[in-house]
A = this chain, B = another copy of it.
Amino acid sequence: MALRLYDLAGANPERRFSPYCWRIRLALAHKELPIETIPWRFTDKEAIAPSGQGRVPVLVDGERWIADSWPLANYLEDAYADRPSLFGGLAGRPLSRFYSCLGDTLVAAIFPFVALDILDVLHEKDRDYFRKTREERVGTTLEAFTADREQRLPAFRASLAPLRVTLKDQPFVGGERPLYADYALFGSFQWCRCISDFQLLAPDDPIYAWRGRMLDLYDGRAGKAKGYPV
């Protein structure tokens, strides 16, 4: 039986936009595991209750429910050890942990650019929940929170310097081929692309070129997903 992945969706069930779910969708493709994705909305807490928490990604593998991207990546690596490694062996797993944390930081850094755009793509039933929880978190309206994004863009792009320099030397963070470290970072950019036409990356940025290579992987798994051509 195919694995099932609860995958955050917008009003259009084809718009899948969780940065954390994208990490796992590409990790599953990397492991050559067929999956069935189930569109899930922020307020569908009951559907994933067996996972013991209220957020996606949630993977169902037979009787097992596993949540949260890093534990999930580790589960896939161990449960499907005979398939291509997500981490690159030996020290690859601990070395990848930091990339996972960095991906989280990247989500937080990108959120002030796209928070309001997310609202536009959400299912009607999620909008109040999203606005209320996020405005509480950021301490202002989503409109005010995102208003000066053009001015903040140069500093954001400059903050990506270590990734930029790395990707001048090698096609993927994992080297000649992508690894979980790539998926952990890419998920944040794919999230942005799925919900907003904001030009977060300049087209002449090596990170933009890397993102293009990521979009093409696995028969365009991420590139063909519903989003904006930015």
| CB–CB B94/A91 < 8 A | no
| CB–CB B95/A162 < 8 A | no
- Contact among B85, B105, B161, B169 with A105 in the assembled complex (CB-CB below 8 Å): B161
| A:168-202 near B, CB below 8 Å | 169-170, 172-176, 179, 181
Is there a chain B Cβ closer than 8 Å to A12's Cβ?
no
| CB–CB A170/B102 < 8 A | no
| CB–CB A181/B92 < 8 A | no
Is there a chain B Cβ closer than 8 Å to A89's Cβ?
yes
- CB contact under 8 A between A92 and B94, given known A161-B101, A162-B105: no
- Contact among B85, B173, B176 with A98 in the assembled complex (CB-CB below 8 Å): B173
| CB–CB A175/B101 < 8 A | no
- CB contact under 8 A between A95 and B161, given known A90-B90, A101-B166: no
- Contact among B89, B162, B163, B170 with A90 in the assembled complex (CB-CB below 8 Å): B89
Number of copies: 2
A108 nearest CB neighbor, chain B only: B161
User: A94 vs B166: C-alpha distance in the bound complex, in angstroms?
Assistant: 9
Is there a chain B Cβ closer than 8 Å to A13's Cβ?
no
10 closest A-B pairs by beta carbon, nearest first, are: A88-B91, A94-B175, A101-B162, A89-B90, A102-B162, A101-B165, A98-B166, A95-B95, A88-B90, A105-B162
Q: A94-B176, A101-B165 are in contact. List 20 more A-B contacts (CB 8 A).
A: A85-B90, A88-B90, A88-B91, A88-B92, A88-B95, A90-B90, A91-B174, A91-B175, A92-B92, A94-B172, A94-B173, A95-B173, A95-B174, A95-B175, A95-B181, A97-B166, A97-B170, A98-B163, A101-B161, A105-B162
29 contacts across the A-B interface (CB closer than 8 A): A85-B90, A88-B92, A89-B89, A90-B90, A91-B174, A91-B179, A92-B92, A92-B95, A94-B173, A94-B174, A94-B176, A95-B95, A95-B96, A95-B99, A95-B174, A95-B175, A97-B169, A97-B170, A98-B99, A98-B162, A98-B163, A98-B166, A98-B173, A98-B181, A101-B161, A101-B162, A101-B166, A104-B165, A105-B162
